[in-house]
Structure 1
Amino acid sequence: MKSTLSREVKRLVSNGFYSAALELYKLHIHPSAFLANTSILPSVIRACASAPSTHYPFGLQLHCVALKSGSTSDAVVSNSIISMYSKFSRPEPARRVFDEMPSRDPITRNALINCYLQNGCLRGSLEALREMCLHGFFPRPELVAGIVSACGRSGNIRLGKQIHARILFDPRSEGSVLLSTALFHMYLRCHDSWTGFRLFDRMPTKNEVSWTALVSGCISNNEYEMAISCLREMQDRGLSPNRVTLICLLQACPGLASLQLGKEIHGYAIRHGFDSEDHFSAALLHMYCECGEGVNRSRAVFNSYKSKDVVSWSSMIRSYARTGEADSAIELFSHMRIEGVGPNSVTLLAVISACTAMSSLILGQSVHGYLIKSGLNTQEFVENSLIDMYCKCGCLQASCQIFNEMAEPDLVSWSALIAAYGLHGHGQVALELFHEMKDRSIEPDGVTLLSALSACNHAGFAEEGQKLFKDAVKENKIPINSEHYSCFVDLLGKSGQLTDACEVIKTMPVKPTLKVWTSLVSACKAQGRLDIAEKLVHQLIKAEPKNPSNNTLLSMVRAERSDWAGVEDVRRLMRGQGPQKHSGISRIDLLVM
């Protein structure tokens, strides 16, 4: 009876029927007197590790069974326990099992290294690798490839080079396509393209995985055209891109601003049956969202999903929020809750963004309440989004409260609060916060400086704004871009310093953007220098003839000068061009008590 049940359990496990094997073991073997069966424990432990989210408690019981029966002295049983803890994302108990083993074979050491790698513990995997080499063993090339890949993901090229040097002196690693692929991909990810391409060219055998890694490495370096060229060469050599290759290529479409390329990849995937795979569908949805195709095509991809997970829901909600369809984003979030899919922090960030776009304080407070209940409100990037949302929804007090309750506000938190006070007209408080932040040894970046300059601009603090800008230029710690110059020119113009504003534009190290010129035009108009304003507007129209806002600005300047004939000329020109004016929309939330 005992041997028959054991054979049946092993048969079920070998055929992948893990749940049935566990059920049989629990009913007929686990409660019986012969709990400790060294021959059957590895199979049962393997079945238990197949569903980490539900079988972890029973996995602990099996470990106890092995300890009580003394089965842990058997290397096969201990190796299976280490692999089980790896699947359970528990590297610490796996290490304890390893340390307590009386003898460790290469399989044991490989299992521990693999456990560390699967759970993102690069340091632990390196320590285990070092111990293994000191004992005269060397891991399988596949496992070394995993460590090299981890070096690439963490950007640790120095360590990757050390492992590369060790590989060169080990003849057992020669001819491993997987290891060679991991090496050149590591160099590409660490932005050493020259070495990466040299290693790739020297590979005697290149398969689909190698070419896919080359395409992925090019994309990680933003070399999108090079990635497409590698794809063409791959096809010329008779190799067809697989699902992973297509997923990598879809990431290049937004960088190239090529919706056409994305559609071609989509068509190829349909012809080869990749479009029904969830990971490809997620990448496709992201591509359509990023390429600005609009939400209709993205929604069509989303609706084609066989099973929608939190990633797909989040991508679609984010797409609606980015394209200004905030109502649809909130509605889709409600459907997501009805379907029983729990949102994560990424989902809620998109929903907060939608609430911000709608300036809906009621919805924002509802989302904030959900965040508190779900325990996601303590993450810094979520708190920073809430500060921004409450500020733009007109509740400055709530923004301050969230900031004050943060354990350790970061640079983004300070920037958001400074911008909040500036937006609400409290320029003095914004400046005090800016200086307090610097006193706490938090160095401002370009966004923080722009928030402080904008606060001075809104409050009319011309002198303080000039000091901020000049100090930033003098210290040369923050890169000054056209946004800063535009704000500074606007500040000078509003304070009547048109000569200084013109001088700033003349001495700008970068070419003045249209926004900078528009700021100067608005300043001239506000100060009554309509002759200068009209000359500048003509320059704007010449630089951007299809922008109807420039013609509108010219019409307003001529109206200020009572040049009604000139106003009529501009309007006649605009009617001939056929510019479309979008209707404005106002929204008021009524709170019924």
Structure 2
Amino acid sequence: MKVQNLSTFSKHILTVRDSATVANIIKNYAKTNQLYKAKQLHSQLITTAYPLCTYLTNIFINTYSKCGEVGYALKLFDKMPRRNLVSWTAMITGFSQNQFFLEAIATFCDMIIAQEIPNQFSFSSVIRACASLGFVEFGKQMHCFALKCGFGCELFVGSNLVDMYSKCGVMRDACKVFEEMDSTDEVLWTAMIDGYAKNGDFEGALLVYKRLVNEGVVIDHYVLSSTISACGALRASNYGKCLHSVVVKLGYELEVSVKNALTDIYSKVGDMESALNVFGFDSDRRNIMSYTSLIDGYVEMDHVERALTTFVEFRRQGIEPNEFTFSSLIKGCANRAALDQGIQLHAQVIRFNFDRNPFVSSILVDMYGKCGLLDDSIRVFDEIENPTEFAWNSLISVFAQHGLGKEAVETLDRMIRRGVKPNAITFISLLTGCSHAGLIDEGLNYFYSMEKSYGVVPQEEHYSCVIDLLGRSGRLKEAEDFINNMPFEPNAFGWCSFLGACRIHGDKERGKIAAEKLMQLEPENSGAHVLLSNIYAKEQQWEDVRNLRKMMRDANVKKLPGYSWVDAGNKIHIFGAEDWSHPQQKEIYMKLDGLLDKIKEAGYIPCTESIPLNVDEQTKEQLLHHHSERIAIAFALISTPVGKPIIVKKNLRVCTDCHSAIKYISKVVNRKIIVRDNSRFHHFADGLCSCGDYW
């Protein structure tokens, strides 16, 4: 029967066969998502006074719900003179499918009041609503009710119960449901794999997959995409390659979810060639998840330009970014301190209405902080309506990076007053802030109260922060005693912090011990050799300096070259020490020489002891004068508008002499200069630095 002939229908009740035909037409519209035709048919049935029985009304409710018109479905439901179990279930499912989770739960309760006994489908829908809302206690009641009604071991209900418990973080109950099932299918196994993954137990997810294989369960593309995603989180590339071979063997390589998962794992392990091969050239089989996985990979490899190019590429194809796309791109800009690109992405975030997304906002807080714009970072945070734990941590980290320990402590107090519990990451940032601000007693108090007052057990990173806290302040004996009483050996950061403190405070003996420990942990790391060499040079023990450099040559340990970069004219300009490669090198060095004359007149005296070489003073002064950060500042002065703050990024710690010189430069040129080294930010203005010469 064709729809255009419905106007000739009899006004009398038609046969069951006719009703079945109409029902099939409506069901087909639901399957093919043809909402307009379903509405047209519905209006023709009403116009011809065709009797809409409960059966057909239920099918219309289901069709409207599947097509996203839950409002139409509800109007039909409310006007029904008689409802049956299918009516109630269709409405509950419709609400749940369209993310009206509270309404789904309320309708389920109304059904019980109407003395209708639920079936496995109504149970599944209401449990799904509980999972989405995190209503674990109500979900447990539904679990008990399902058991009472005899549906507790039904596969559809069991899968949703596993999903509900895992989403609510109760994996013990999810496992119990799984083990009590009379039979299993791939949907239930997938729910278990996803459950472990959602709770961060990626090894557990892989063990479930292995068990699934051993029991001979059918492997579908949902199982594979979930398992590959768990591999991606673990960066288990070898296991991921094995799964890739299973994908090819079973013929799932064209499934979008599987392609996305494979792209993700290869991107995370830095194998961008394989990621691009999986990604392919068929644009019809790419979606925003595919592109976001590629962007994540480029960001992890610090190929921010490639990540931004990928963003432009999919925007040209009309694909809209999501919050994860923006978070990854902004993170890349933050790590590179690429302010101009970060600001442009912020504008895109606002355009796509993600500026209220707590996760994206938190990344923006971090980005502006890492780019040196502290006020903008605070402003973005203040605009977050309900800051999450991640947002608070971002702000505390920003204050720590800028050496504002007092503000970091105050932010922690605000965080606790707002009912947000600090975690391990919070205390790493807090202790770092205390260390850079010289808040020794405050930092120690927080460290020793972490577990007792906040339930956070100190880990290696926290102990390393305390070593830095004590060492930076010159309390080397206390730092040594602290190391000796630690429950484990310090990590590389801990020994590096202690070695750096020994260099600053001239403790050769402790410095040698720290350097030896650091060389054992990271023999290829040149930092230990360089710091120990500086200690020897300070004591003018040139023979020891030469021996150490020979040791580096013999072991093929190369000193990490220092370089600085600055943004100007929508480009990143990178400079090394004694760098003569820039097209404007003549103007740069003229500016640099002029600055040297001016800062010497203002009182600058070169600190040549920071050069660990046995050469004359004039040569040392020349080497200091051509350090990368000074070249970058000279370039910024001739390339950026007068009065605009200069922001320079450096891959190594700024040396003592450059720190002194930049203070004088900020005074003689009357410009604010912000330098981000590998440890923290220094804000130079009017001959002073924000660190107060304590860094």
Q: Which residue matches 2:309? A: 331
Cα pair distance change 1:327/1:85, threshold 3 Å = same
- Selected match of 2:123 from 144, 160, 164: 144
- Selected match of 1:504 from 471, 482, 485: 482
1:374 aligns with 2:352: yes
Q: Which residue matches 2:94? A: 115
- Selected match of 1:303 from 260, 269, 280: 280
Contact 2:503 2:534 in 1 (8 A): no
Q: Which residue matches 2:74? A: 95
Contact 2:120 2:157 in 1 (8 A): yes
Query: What is the Cα deviation at residue 252 of structure 1?
Result: 3.3
Cα pair distance change 1:256/1:436, threshold 3 Å = closer
1:565 aligns with 2:543: yes
Q: Tell me, in whole angstroms, the C-alpha distance in 2 between the residues paired with 1:41 and 1:181.
A: 33
Q: Which residue matches 1:406? A: 384
Q: Tell me, in whole angstroms, the C-alpha distance in 1 between the residues paired with 2:408 and 2:435.
A: 11
Q: Which residue matches 1:22? A: none
Which one-letter code corresponds to 1:296 in the other structure?
A: E
- Selected match of 1:8 from 2, 14, 24: 2
Q: Tell me, in whole angstroms, the C-alpha distance in 1 between the residues paired with 2:455 and 2:327.
A: 31
Q: Which moved more, 1:536-545 or 1:377-386?
A: 536-545
Q: Tell me, in whole angstroms, the C-alpha distance in 1 between the residues paired with 2:139 and 2:451.
A: 40
Cα pair distance change 1:71/1:102, threshold 3 Å = farther
Q: Which residue matches 1:250? A: 228
Query: What is the Cα deviation at residue 505 of structure 1?
Result: 3.0
Query: What is the Cα deviation at residue 260 of structure 1?
Result: 1.3
1:286 aligns with 2:264: yes
Contact 2:143 2:152 in 1 (8 A): no
Contact 1:320 1:328 in 2 (8 A): yes
Query: What is the Cα deviation at residue 381 of structure 1?
Result: 2.0
Which one-letter code corresponds to 1:114 in the other structure?
A: T
Q: Tell me, in whole angstroms, the C-alpha distance in 1 between the residues paired with 2:358 and 2:288.
A: 21
Q: Which residue matches 1:84? A: 63
Q: Tell me, in whole angstroms, the C-alpha distance in 2 between the residues paired with 1:126 and 1:236.
A: 38
Over aligned residue pairs, what C-alpha RMSD do you find?
4.0
**Equivalence map 1:421-436=2 (5 Å):** 421-436=399-414
Cα pair distance change 1:84/1:223, threshold 3 Å = same
Q: Which residue matches 2:519? A: 541
Q: Which residue matches 1:365? A: 343
Q: Tell me, in whole angstroms, the C-alpha distance in 2 between the residues paired with 1:199 and 1:429.
A: 48
Cα deviation code 1:75-101 (max 9, x no counterpart): 244223322332244545533432221
Cα deviation code 1:1-39 (max 9, x no counterpart): xxxxxx134xxxxxxxxxxxxxxx6xx979x9x9xx996
Q: Which residue matches 2:84? A: 105
Contact 2:6 2:45 in 1 (8 A): no
2:285 is paired with a residue of what secondary structure?
A: coil
Q: Which residue matches 2:467? A: 489
Which one-letter code corresponds to 2:310 in the other structure?
A: L
1:365 is paired with a residue of what secondary structure?
A: helix
Q: Which residue matches 1:13? A: none
Q: How many residues align?
A: 565
Q: Tell me, in whole angstroms, the C-alpha distance in 2 between the residues paired with 1:224 and 1:544.
A: 28
Query: What is the Cα deviation at residue 396 of structure 1?
Result: 2.1
Q: Which residue matches 1:450? A: 428
Cα deviation code 1:421-452 (max 9, x no counterpart): 44334444444444455555555444344334
Q: Which moved more, 1:530-539 or 1:368-377?
A: 368-377
Q: Tell me, in whole angstroms, the C-alpha distance in 2 between the residues paired with 1:355 and 1:138.
A: 56
Query: What is the Cα deviation at residue 527 of structure 1?
Result: 0.9
Q: Which residue matches 1:385? A: 363
1:259 aligns with 2:233: no
Q: Tell me, in whole angstroms, the C-alpha distance in 1 between the residues paired with 2:446 and 2:158.
A: 53
Query: What is the Cα deviation at residue 200 of structure 1?
Result: 5.3
Q: Tell me, in whole angstroms, the C-alpha distance in 1 between the residues paired with 2:478 and 2:451.
A: 16
2:253 is paired with a residue of what secondary structure?
A: coil
- Which one has a larger percent helix, Structure 1 or Structure 2? 1
Q: Tell me, in whole angstroms, the C-alpha distance in 2 between the residues paired with 1:283 and 1:420.
A: 33
Contact 1:259 1:288 in 2 (8 A): yes
Query: What is the Cα deviation at residue 330 of structure 1?
Result: 0.9
Q: Which residue matches 2:497? A: 519
Contact 1:294 1:323 in 2 (8 A): no
Cα pair distance change 1:154/1:284, threshold 3 Å = farther
- Which one has a larger percent strand, Structure 1 or Structure 2? 2
Q: Tell me, in whole angstroms, the C-alpha distance in 1 between the residues paired with 2:206 and 2:386.
A: 44
Cα pair distance change 1:111/1:394, threshold 3 Å = same
Q: Tell me, in whole angstroms, the C-alpha distance in 2 between the residues paired with 1:413 and 1:158.
A: 28
Gaps of 5+ in 1: 1-6, 10-24
Query: What is the Cα deviation at residue 477 of structure 1?
Result: 4.5
Contact 2:108 2:122 in 1 (8 A): no
Which one-letter code corresponds to 2:295 in the other structure?
A: I
Q: Tell me, in whole angstroms, the C-alpha distance in 2 between the residues paired with 1:297 and 1:340.
A: 25
1:318 aligns with 2:312: no
Which is bigger in relative contact order (C-alpha 8 A, separation at least 6)?
A: 2
Contact 1:215 1:230 in 2 (8 A): yes
Cα pair distance change 1:471/1:70, threshold 3 Å = farther
**Equivalence map 1:10-25=2 (5 Å):** none
1:268 aligns with 2:262: no
Contact 1:387 1:399 in 2 (8 A): yes
Query: What is the Cα deviation at residue 118 of structure 1?
Result: 1.6
Query: What is the Cα deviation at residue 535 of structure 1?
Result: 1.7
Query: What is the Cα deviation at residue 137 of structure 1?
Result: 4.3
1:588 is paired with a residue of what secondary structure?
A: strand
Q: Which moved more, 1:514-523 or 1:327-336?
A: 514-523
Q: Tell me, in whole angstroms, the C-alpha distance in 1 between the residues paired with 2:445 and 2:345.
A: 40
Q: Tell me, in whole angstroms, the C-alpha distance in 2 between the residues paired with 1:578 and 1:539.
A: 19
2:279 is paired with a residue of what secondary structure?
A: helix
Query: What is the Cα deviation at residue 343 of structure 1?
Result: 1.3
Q: Tell me, in whole angstroms, the C-alpha distance in 2 between the residues paired with 1:471 and 1:198.
A: 37
Query: What is the Cα deviation at residue 108 of structure 1?
Result: 1.4
